[in-house]
Amino acid sequence: MMATQATNPLAPVPPSGKPPSMQHTPLLLYSSLGYAILIIYASLYPLTGWEATGAPPLDFLFADWPRYTTAFDLSTNVAAYVPLGFLLASAMRPRLAAKYAWWLAALLAAALSFSLESTQNFLPTRVASNLDLACNTLGALLGALPGALWPRQIMDNLRHLHWPEHGKSVELGLVLLGLWLLTQFDSTTLLFGAGDLRNLSGLADLHAFNAVAFQRIESLIAASGVMATLLMASLIAPFRQRRLFSLLLLLLGLAAKSLAFALMTHPKTALGWATPGALTGFFIGLLCWSIALLLPLTLQRLLAATALLAASVMVNLAPINPYLENLQNVWNPGQFLHFHGLTHFVTLLWPYLALPWFAFHRPRPTMP
């Protein structure tokens, strides 16, 4: 009747009695649903001007090859559904065999794409396309394959389920960091600046643009944003991997920001975000984060929340940058216009979604 497997006597036993690798995590399911909602928003953006054209809604399935299409349009439609396929297959994997999870995830993603393409018949600004449907399905198939074969131990280690009482806050934190990466694709905002609500509230720019003053506040915003994001990642990651996880997240964020600039203007301007003020704040934020890691976890959480709040306030007080404002005049968006609408929406809300998270997350170091 005695268990024969070797266990760590110091490790807490999960309430379910199951080892961490056998516990079901809703993180992937929540992420799948959240990402599907983002795809729905992006596909039906700007969500206005609905009208019936009188054309049969399924005619697009049998239409000829579109007259105007680009490699960017095709690759974007494929890439948009790769994460959805991956997340759906990963969420199904504990209960289904790999091949069934793969095909069912691709089928669900294809059904979502078909529904959205059919709905686009009622939006004058959108065009239903069988080619888009095919690209979306291909992307889901490509993403679902590694998702179906993905080792669950990676997620279990990241969520550090040996502290199951913190599992839900860790899951929510990972989702918030995923949304943070999405905000970096909005190239109309300052580096790591988010939460500018002036357009929504109808408030005008409070200050005239002054290059010297703007560089200072740009540095403060970048420093606060870097510090808040890296500390948030450090509080979520396994204790011994917190530096690696945080820096990897930061590099992905910079890559996303560079890609957004390259798409909006020209590949040669991919580093347009790297202004003197932004770079100064970036390195100050890195230094402050490195020092903050030496503090107790409770103080790290407090500093992260304070830095995020400060960055959000300063974003709303900063003068409008004429360079970023004029990007829209030279931008040839194509299909990226709708994705930009999505990223800008998430950028507006992200700080106000992340701030409450610090109130209930209680990080504890991982046991050896």
Q: Which range is least confidently modeled, 205-209, 214-218, 221-225? A: 205-209
Pinpoint the alpha helices (H) of the chain.
Answer: 27-44, 71-92, 98-119, 130-149, 152-159, 167-183, 198-201, 211-236, 242-264, 276-292, 297-317, 322-330, 336-354, 357-360
Rg, C-alpha atoms of the chain: 23
pLDDT on residue 208: 65
Contacts of 290 (CB under 8 A, 6+ apart): none
Q: Of 42-51, 66-75, 198-207, 308-317, where does the model show the most confidence? A: 308-317
pTM reported for the whole predicted model: 0.63
- Assess whether the previous peptide bond of 238 is cis (omega < 30° from 0): no
Contact 225, 218 (CB under 8 A): no
* Chain-centre distance for alpha carbon 230: 15
Q: Which two tokens stand for residue 16?
A: 């379910």
pLDDT on residue 164: 43
Distances (CA, A) of 170 to 151, 156, 177, 222: 19, 11, 10, 25
Contacts of 321 (CB under 8 A, 6+ apart): 190, 209, 214, 218
Contact 355, 308 (CB under 8 A): yes
Q: Which range is least confidently modeled, 13-22, 204-213, 235-244, 250-259? A: 13-22
pLDDT on residue 135: 92
pLDDT on residue 48: 73
pLDDT on residue 14: 46
* Rounded CA separation 322/232 (Å): 31
Higher pLDDT: 150 or 167? It is: 150
Give the type of residue at 218: E
Q: Of 46-60, 197-211, 324-338, where does the model show the most confidence? A: 46-60
Could you tell me the residue ranges of all domains in the chain? 23-49+58-150, 165-360
What is the pLDDT confidence band of residue 9, given thresholds at 50, 70 and 90?
A: very low
pLDDT on residue 25: 56
Q: Which phi and psi angles does 297 have, rounded to 5°?
A: -60, -35
* Rounded CA separation 143/4 (Å): 39
